[in-house]
């Protein structure tokens, strides 16, 4: 299964973005994780079908109602995530 890493930039912390991401990923059957970054971005790593990953990218661009997504950087990564979805502690990377 393909795995993609998304760096979401904008007003994405303190607005429920990680919980929104978790809910949408679970609804699509995607595995992965999300975390806040110290620079104000949110990192999302997801594993699933290309179709579901594309759909999820569209949802990330929308975000929850109180968010503002300015940009999303996306790249394929070599990670095996297993099952489920986690919200991880803040990353300094």
- Residues with a catalytic annotation lie at 18, 36
Q: Which of 48, 13, 52, 58 is nearest to 34 (CA)?
A: 13
Q: Where are the beta strands (DSSP E) in 12-67?
A: 31-36, 42-47
Q: Which residues does 15 contact at the CB level (< 8 Å), separation at least 6?
A: 63, 64, 66, 67
């Amino acid at each position: 299964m393909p795995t993609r890493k998304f760096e979401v930039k904008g007003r994405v912390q303190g607005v429920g973005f990680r919980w929104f991401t978790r809910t949408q990923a679970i609804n699509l059957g995607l595995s992965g994780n999300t975390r806040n970054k110290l620079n104000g971005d949110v990192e999302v790593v997801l594993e699933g079908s290309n179709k579901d990953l594309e759909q999820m990218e569209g949802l990330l661009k929308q975000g929850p109602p109180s968010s503002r997504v300015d940009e999303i950087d996306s790249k394929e990564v070599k990670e095996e995530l297993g099952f489920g979805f986690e919200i991880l502690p803040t990353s300094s990377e």
